[in-house]
Amino acid sequence: MRTIRLLAPAVCLVLAATACTDAPEPGVAAPDSPTTTAAASSAAGSAPDGGSTQVSAKEVCAYLDGQLPTLKGIGSETGVMANLTVNLYSWYEKQGPVPTGRQIDDQTRQECPATRTEVLKLAGMESFERL
């Protein structure tokens, strides 16, 4: 249990550092790449212009339902939050654009409010915007 508490912040720090290394230098855009602003928002995990995601609410809920046994077994809010952050981001990245926390909240409120509530409670969060 103590190992998870020590490991969770380290995992979050590594994930944050990795995301930062892929971002272009401010004010510099490569000739054949999107503008710096678009690249920065993409690196931050936001959805493409228009705010839509390619993953349906039903798919998100099915994924979260499948993760519940693992999350319940972790035993600490910090560990659950770290696991959820890394695994949910990785899952979304394989599906296409990574939505914002607000978009995940909206989808899960409509499609699977009970699962949403349980996942957030296990992670000690009120919203996916905290991820």
pLDDT tops 80 at residue 12: no
Give the mean pLDDT of the chain. Answer: 74
Give the whole-angstrom CA distance, residue 48 versus residue 6: 35
pLDDT tops 70 at residue 14: no
* Amino acid of residue 101: G
Number of other residues whose CB lies within 10 A of the CB of residue 103: 21
- Percentage of residues in the chain having pLDDT higher than 70: 60
Contact assessment for residue 46 and residue 23, using Cβ atoms and an 8 Å cutoff: no
Q: Is 124 left (phi over 0), alpha (psi -120 to 50) or beta?
A: left
Give the whole-angstrom CA distance, residue 97 versus residue 91: 10
CA trace torsion 76, 78, 80, 82 (10° rounding): -150
Whole-prediction pTM = 0.60
Contact assessment for residue 15 and residue 85, using Cβ atoms and an 8 Å cutoff: yes
Instruction: Give the pLDDT confidence score for residue 57 in this predicted structure.
Output: 94
Instruction: Give the pLDDT confidence score for residue 9 in this predicted structure.
Output: 57
> pLDDT-derived band of residue 10, with 50, 70 and 90 as boundaries?
low
